[in-house]
A and B are shown apart, each in its own frame.
Chain A
Amino acid sequence: MGKVKGKPGPLARRPDNSAFKQQRLPAWSPMLTANTVLPFFYFMALICLLLGVWLLLTVQNTQEMKLDYTEAETCNKCFEMRKNVSNANETCICTVNFRIDKPFEGDVFFYYGLRNFHQNLRRYMDSRDDGQTVGRKKNLKDPSSYCEPFLKDPSGRPIAPCGAVANSIFNDSFTLRYHYSNGIGEVPLLREGLTWYTDKYIKFRNPTTDNLTLAQVFEGTAPPPYWQKPVYKLDPSNPMNNGFINDDFIVWMREAAFPNFKKLYGILFRNDNPFTKGLPAGNYSIDISYNFPVQYFRGRKEVVLTTVTWFGGQNHFLPIAYLVTSSLILLTAVVLTVVWWKFGKDGKNMKE
């Protein structure tokens, strides 16, 4: 403003003649006209159509198999047994059979699924201590109060990993078997590489061991009440897969957004025949170590086998949604064209 005061004479207080102050900034003022909107609509319809068709063709190449084993076949007895809490520590193994008619080609993924299990409740989601699972020693011995009521065991030892999420870990285990013509053989499953890279290597870390064993580091902590094994003994076969960096644990700790969800259990190991190209057609069975009780909350359990393409597993919604959207846009475009052609008042009321 000093500049303004400096000006002498009768125009001393005249506002600056800048485009900004006079609201004359150069500007682009687009308008919806038939020339732009209608081609845009047709173009959108075409794009959606092409995408939809392409996605549909891609999805056609995937295969999926779902199997609800909650009360299926021999699992019925395990289901009944788990109704009674006092039997919680007894093991129960059951088997379900199924058949694949068309071979699953390429990578095959093995999921377990839960229905009606709410991992997305606010208090459930909050009930964890990321400081503990990232390996902070302080949080290991003194977890965050968010973990209540799974913070300390009755004798006062801190629970590791603490909180409701960790406590409720899905603890069924599966063995997939292929029925060869001459007997039954195990289908090899890779039980690692199931997580996000950032989860495995950044978000979940074991406390520094300093030449101690993992068991010694976790000394003085208690496992969550529903766990049968402590956290450092989760995977007896692979010592590097224990503690907070256990893949199954990390998978479970990535909470699902909706009550019906599936989580990755394993990936087909395609080194040996006959699984180099995927799962061949034939009869299969799954041996299930049936631990996780779902009848309390009227839940269901299932296993899912699927192959994937570049945009993931079998997902019919997306291509169909694109096709429907495409046809709706096309319909709108046609209606708009007709209306514009027949009734449009293109600048005819200028004289008003």
Chain B
Amino acid sequence: MTHLVCCVSAEEERRVRANDREYNEKFQYASNCIMTSKYNIITFLPVNLFEQFQEVANTYFLFLLILQLIPQISSLSWFTTIVPLALVLSITAVKDATDDYFRHKSDNQVNNRQSQVLIRGSLQNEKWMNVRVGDIIKLENNQFVAADLLLLSSTEPHGLCYIETAELDGSENTLHLNICSRNLKNLKSVVCEPPNNKLDRFSGTLYWREKKYSLTNQNMLLRGCVLRNTEACYGLVIFAGPDTKLMQNSGRTKFKRTSIDRLMNTLVLWIFGFLVCMGMILAVGNAGWEKEVGSLFQSYLAWDTPVNNFLFSAFLSFWSYVIILNTVVPISLYVSVEVIRLGHSYFINWDQQMFCSQCNTAAEARTTTLNEELGQVEYIFSDKTGTLTQNIMTFNKCSINGQSYGKDTHTTCRLDFTPFNPLADPDFCFYDDKLLESVKVGDSCTHEFFRLLSLCHTVMSEEKRELVYKAQSPDEGALVTAARNFGFVFRSRTPGTITTTEMGRTVTYSLLAILDFNNIRKRMSVIVRNPEGRIRLYCKGADTVLLERLHPCNQEEYATDGLRTLALAYRDLSEDEWEAWSESHRFADKATDCREDRLAAAYEEIEQNMMLLGATAIEDKLQEGVPETIAVLSLANIKIWVLTGDKQETAVNIGYSCKMLTDDMTEVFIISGHTVQSVRQELRSVWLCAHCTRLYTAHALEADMEAEFVSTACACKAVICCRVTPLQKAQVVELIKKHKKAVTLAIGDGANDISMIKSAHIGVGISGQEGIQAVLASDYSFSQFRFLQRLLLVHGRWSYLRMCRFLCYFFYKNFAFTMVHFWFGFFCGFSAQTVYDQYFITLFNIVYTSLPVLAMGIFDQDVPDHRSLEYPKLYEPGQLNLLFNKREFFICIAQGIYTSVVLFFVPYAVLSNATQSNGVPLADYQTFAVTTATALVIVVSVQIVLDTGFWTVFNHVFVWGSLGSYFIIMFALHSQTLFRIFPNQFHFVGSAQSTLLQPVVWLTIALATAICIVPVLAFRFLKLDLKPQLSDTVRKHTKTQRF
């Protein structure tokens, strides 16, 4: 406590003195005010603009804008770029601002919550944001914990307090045990680790009256929890505001991009290349023209002042053409894509058929940028427990002393426990009365079996009107409930005792130690002293683990039934043994370094030489519709891999019950070699016979044989990997991503699936029994596995289809629009004169043609939703990437260029000789511009009419509305009123009526439209007729059925 470190950034350890603000302020610890918002009113504009200009596209358009301000280059007015750019920027800014506004609101709400702080001996109300590190806070029942607190005292006996950690780790109604026996009121100080994001770890030391006490996670109340069933408690603020574990954990997730995104970026780069090429060609043309013709024309039009030769003129012309032709990369592309995706996300959120009424949960698209990738999934990686199964455990069978109980559920009727046991849970089902008989006659093994189940657990009880258990894991709850119904009722616990009612008699055991469960140990034990004084260790755990610690017995047969098997065992301890062990345990517990390892070693020491009592089998039921969903998805050519931590037998059984494995898959290969050599050999031998089903144990993944693993696994119809750790789940996903270049989807519900969900292209979280951690990490979430088929086959498929059609049309439209300038270049001396009016260029993409294609991108459907579930093969084009790829892109571009040729040369050929009926020539620039622009708008509108396959009222309104808006806006821009006000801005006064009243203009437009559209129509018809896609056939079929 001598030297003080006043540097926050390099905080090595944290020193806090209770109720001594002066001392604590020296360290400048973060205050309890949190700020998740990014901007305030002043910083919003600069910061948001800065962020937006980090997008390459936006910067590109800014660059164009700067180019346009150079008068020698500027071929277009500055507003042709700034209007769309401002529109795009402001749409994004509005979205960001709304998001941030809600963050501000929630921050304010949280920061202004009241809490009671002990200041100078009296409790005062303070806002959360004014709470400082070192303050002592009084919490009352059902209050949120304001910061990370060290529990000092509690009104409950034994210093217990109960908290619900829903907001923190997602598990609802979980009650934690925070034990702080030291009921302290005096000045004390704490030294602990610096802030970090590990929710399950805390280490520190409490100094009080010259003594040291070690602090662990058990002493902490973390921000985000709610105090339950505890009248009040006091806590010392250790971490506040941004330092709390909750805030430290709310990091940003990795940004995922879809393959269409990547393709789009590549294509945009190509288009840039194309743009530069076009600019070069026209610049070379300009050099030639200026040399041959322009220099002679100088008496009428001298070169601009800095231009002294044709090469410099060509250089300027290059940049001028870059400005003109920039519309091939439309500024509105990215915004439109985002809008479409947002629309699709809302459709997912709104889908009633993905709403689960039992759990009152609708599907949620948590990421709005991945929708079209849902239509391209090739591999699904699924967790088993809670994803394929319900994770609702039922006590199904047990084996006691070699005798097994529990039969097929169909044969016997359900047992009624109420006459025998008034405390029985009425929802519990069991079908074998032999077991009840055995309990009734007082078989000592059976009694010991259920006694173990009623003692060895971490379940909390709550007894108001009736007894309710709160269990952290569902299988524990199932076991304790089973014991309850068979007469061994767990009633309540304190840190030192467990009270049960055994066959109607209340018994209180003193609890000497809990040897808790973790994933490595796979077992838990309790050491209790019964009222008679006998000390006994009860242990339950995974059979494989427990078997090593006792003699072989009859439990093996359970595994083959696809049930979760737990073995139960006990060991009697003498008083000396207990004393000796508890000493070593206390020593390990006090250790500051490697505490976990030491504890594990101590546990290991006592969990030996146990006597087997029996085994329990818990069944985890399949979710509704799982086999059907898997069947449909496999028909859609999606490969489903189940990755589970369960053991092989369980995994195989689940495989059969959800129809992944069927009886006609004769060759089920199991790769279970334990060494690198044997695994490799097995992989190779399997390779010889494809189309079989295989299972892998974790060993296959460890070895250095990725390629072989992938090639073998991908030849299989179904793959089940068992005994995989969370990290290995992610590795498998990465492996497929790397080697197969396929779109992967991971679906899971628990914390162990998070790594897999994050590394797959698409992560789906099931909001089920195991909390919402997986959901928080996921991109999409819903509550039933069977919704996956609708998400992929309906929403995903439509999203992909719509996005592809949208992109095809968008690129087509912009090439048709822009390339006309290129052709005109050959007639206007490559001088970068535009074909259209500048206002038309400004508005074409954002007003005249944006809404119809957006409507198509949001609403289009080729076949109704139920058809895509009936014909899962409809999903294949997405997997094969058929609807939008480089080839399709070039076809669109070619069509766009063809259209631009027609749109330029037909009006050119007609108008250059034509006159109005009053003899005035039509070959003037403005007539030509209006004719070409009108023809362009009409042709692209006809094209969208052809492309739209599903005409809702929105499509009608947008298509006809856009076409109407073109004429209305054009007449307005060419009106006398505007010209009188700004004569230099509206040159085109009178052009609209003068041009559009001429029959020859309309004949020209009609001819151009026919020439543009007829080949497209013919090709589409031929394709439909000769090579109809499945979707076309289904569509036709649907139509004929309807009429």
Contacts and interface: CB of A to CB of B under 8 A. Distances in A.
Interface of A: 10-17, 21-23, 25-34, 37, 40-41, 44, 48, 51, 55, 107, 109, 111, 116, 118-125, 127, 129-131, 134, 136, 144, 146, 149, 164, 167-168, 193-199, 202-203, 254-264, 267, 296-298, 306, 308-315, 317-318, 321-322, 325, 328-329, 332, 336, 339-340, 343-347, 349-350, 352
A251 to B, nearest CB: 8
Given A21-B350, A32-B1024, A33-B1036, 7 more contacts: A29-B950, A29-B1035, A120-B827, A123-B304, A198-B990, A313-B913, A336-B1018
A257 B952 CA distance: 41
Interface in B108-151: none
11 contacts: A27-B951, A27-B952, A125-B833, A194-B920, A202-B980, A203-B990, A256-B923, A312-B915, A313-B913, A321-B1007, A340-B1025
Contacts of B1027: 345
Nearest to A352: B1030
Contacts of B916: 312
Contacts of A197: 990, 994
Which of B954, B1020, B1021: most chain A CB closer than 10 A?
A: B1021
Contacts of A199: 990
Interface stretch (B354-362, B533-541, B806-814): B354-362
Interface residues on B, range: 35 or more
Contacts of B873: 352
B1017 interface: yes
A168 B297 CA distance: 11
B917 interface: yes
Given A202-B990, A312-B998, A313-B914, A32 B1017 contact: yes
Interface of B: 75, 293, 296-297, 299-302, 304, 320, 346-347, 349-353, 355, 357-358, 360-362, 798, 827-829, 831-833, 859, 861, 865, 873, 906, 908-929, 949-955, 976, 979-980, 983-984, 987, 989-990, 993-994, 998-1000, 1003-1004, 1007, 1010-1011, 1014-1015, 1017-1018, 1020-1022, 1024-1028, 1030, 1032-1037, 1039
A297 B293 contact: yes
Contact of A325 (B299, B828, B914, B1007): B1007
A40 B1013 CA distance: 12
A349 B920 CA distance: 59
Nearest to B1010: A325
Point out which of B349, B828, B1030 has the most chain A C-beta atoms below 10 A from its C-beta: B828
Nearest to A332: B1018
Contacts of B1018: 41, 332, 336
Contact of B833 (A22, A120, A315): A120
A202 B976 contact: yes
Given A122-B833, A130-B987, A28 B951 contact: yes
Given A55-B1003, A313-B919, A349 B1028 contact: yes
Contacts of B1036: 31, 33, 347
Contacts of B993: 198
Given A27-B950, A122-B832, A298-B296, A203 B979 contact: yes
A309 B917 contact: yes
Contacts of B1026: 339, 343-345
B833 A30 contact: no
Given A15-B362, A336-B1022, A311 B917 contact: yes
B924 A256 contact: yes
A318 B1004 contact: yes
B921 A124 contact: no
Contact of B921 (A25, A146, A263): A263
Contacts of A127: 301
Nearest to A259: B827
Contact of A264 (B347, B919, B1011): B919
Given A10-B357, A308-B915, A118 B994 contact: no
Given A122-B831, A134-B983, A349-B1028, A29 B949 contact: yes
B928 A257 contact: yes
Nearest to A196: B994
B697 to A, nearest CB: 39
B131 to A, nearest CB: 31
A318 B1003 contact: yes
A22 B352 contact: yes
Contacts of B950: 27-29
A257 to B, nearest CB: 4
Contact of A255 (B832, B925, B989): B925
